[in-house]
Structure 1
Amino acid sequence: MNAIGIDLGGTWIKGVLMQVETGDMIKQLYHPTNGDKDWKQAVAETVSELRNVASDPVSAIGLSAPGLPNVTNQYIAFMPGRLSGLEGFHWGHFLGSSVHIVNDAHAALLAESRFGAAKGYKNVVMLTLGTGVGGGVLINGQLYQGNFQKAGHVGHIAVGDEGERDITGMPGSLEDAIGNASVEKRSLGRFSSTYQLLEAYKQGDYFAQWLWLSSVRKLAIGISSLINCFSPDVVVLGGGIAQAEDDLLRPLTDFMTLYEWRPGGYVTPIKLAQFGDMAGAIGAASFAISSEPGFS
């Protein structure tokens, strides 16, 4: 069966027509969020384009977006400060079809758990390391959304009790410790992006090495805390910062030996996500098909 997945981001609208049983992507589309068209209309046109290339009927439509969906996953209920007009906007009414809405980090988790790095695991914690830090939790094979759909906001756990409060009011948050948005502040203005920080780190800049390793140490503390809470089969790291690969995994592995509780010597595996920028769209399609009556 075919499903359409849309990932609505601040920069790009990404769409995929997917064969759900296999995860094969039949067609991918990219449109700028703030291009020539209103972004709501651009979403509608993306859905229409994908419908037109489908040889079989489209069974479900899913849309991933930042923010907290309402309890029935029909619209984003809370998303202050970004994509004005998104809160409360009912996509099913607008598109004239059933549309299932899911948080973007939750969608990335679903993509990895069904087709990617976490395939075959029932209990998974995923962290998306990018501008901020998002994530999701899979329990017994099911996405855990929690009360008010807030579950999985792993970037807002505390890895310290000092510093400014983050957007949720949390001091010393994991998001502020490693998210790209805080690099300039953390580096006292020396670096404007994690990419710049890592380039200096690789060239032997002592300040950059101290700063990056301090951030990775806090990430290890955060992951170890999540392992204590959820005891997952695997932890998956996605997002742009995870593209650092060995420059992230090597020091993270060393720090995990200090902080992870390992009864019986068991080490929780940490894997890099397999899907890149289409993870949200793939996960949205997967969420939609699992949400339709009669499908699983």
Structure 2
Amino acid sequence: MAAAIGIDLGGTNVKGVLVNDTGEILHQEVQATALPAGSSNGQERHWQQVVAQVVRVLKSQSSGEVDAIGLAAPGLPNDANSAIRIMPERLEGLENLIWSDYLHEKEVWVLNDAHAALMAEAKFGVGQGFRNIVMLTLGTGVGGGILINGELYQGNYQMAGHLGHMTLDVDREDAGITGMPGTLESAIGDATVAKRSFGKYQTTLALVEAYRQGDAFATYIWLNSVRKLALGLCSLCNLLSPDQIILGGGITQAGDALYKPLADFIAVYEWKSAGKSTPIQQARYTNMAGAVGAAGFALDRAFCSQLE
């Protein structure tokens, strides 16, 4: 049975898993990305050392050879999926770091962290058996990924899947990192709750709790955001006609407070030309999704390399 290591490199933690080819997590390891307070490091950046240490720990837990290593990180990977090509203002030194060279491994497959979350679901989670999937991760921002004919679609310059940056309201002046006005990310991402609620709520958690308590203002703000999410999802269905939509990220922990009104709005807006609705599923993987997806992606790429 094949085994792979998956690493999720984030600003707070480096998360790692050792998985087999059915997605069973054989061992997991989490270490802080940053140096402990008061420590100093005169050599390479500390987070690089942490990644190497997590890989060593996971290798030591394997009963045999590790067949593939994958790494998920914020940013856009290069065409060879060997490094993150663009990631401004975060994790200095990440851009163009060839991980196979640094870790002294034959191959390390690198992909965007939101794409990794999709791969976790497509290979091992609720997306198994579906060949065309759209996934959105709803958190501080809104990330995403697209699976077409069973393959992760990364697009030109690996820029595909930034679903949170679709425009829903062209007349709004707010713009995210892409410069697009009125985006889905600004409509429902946790980072904009304070602005959307005129400073009354600072987090989606607080907003949703007030909505559950029947607060009229919270109900207006929350349902307006969910309506825009429904419009975005229906637009994606019209563009891509996926077999399934998967939602992940912290905002989905709102449960029925999210999914019930979302279903009501989708019932209004979805184009059902064949009389069928696109199923919407809650992601199976949560905290370790990026690491699991990186491992799954690496297993697929390693298998394809063997066939070439």
> Partner of 1:130 in structure 2?
139
Is 1:175 paired with 2:185? yes
- Structure 2 unaligned blocks of 5 or more: none
* Counterpart in the other structure of 2:206: 196
Counterpart for residue 23 of structure 1? 23
Q: Within 5 A, what are the aligned runs for 1:1-296?
A: 1-20=2-21, 22-36=22-36, 38-97=46-105, 98-161=107-170, 162-292=172-302, 293-294=305-306
1:289–1:295 CA contact under 8 A, matched in 2: no
- One-letter amino acid of the structure 1 residue matched with residue 218 of structure 2: A
Residue type at the aligned position of 1:156: H
Q: Which residue identity lines up with residue 306 of structure 2 in the other structure?
A: G
How far apart in 2 are the matches of 1:52 and 1:9?
23
Q: What TM-score do the two structures reach when normalised by structure 1? A: 0.97
1:289: Cα distance to partner?
1.2
How many aligned residue pairs are there?
A: 295
Distance of 2:88 and 2:194 partners within structure 1: 23
Give distance in 1, aligned partners of 2:257 and 2:173: 26
Which deviates more, 281-290 or 182-191?
Answer: 182-191
**What CA distance in whole angstroms lies between the structure 1 residues aligned with 2:307 and 2:48?**
28
TM-score (norm 2): 0.94
* C-alpha deviation, 1:95, in angstroms: 0.4
Q: What SS does the corresponding residue of 2:174 show, helix, strand or coil?
A: coil
- 1:295 is displaced (CA, Å) by 6.5
Q: Distance in 2 between matches of 1:262 and 1:15?
A: 41
1:163 positional shift:
2.9
Q: Distance in 1 between matches of 2:271 and 2:225?
A: 20
- Residues 192-213 of structure 1: per-residue CA shift (max 9 Å, x gap): 1111111111111111111110
Report % sequence identity.
54
Shift of 1:244: 1.0
1:281 aligned partner, one-letter code: A
Q: CA deviation at 1:270?
A: 0.5
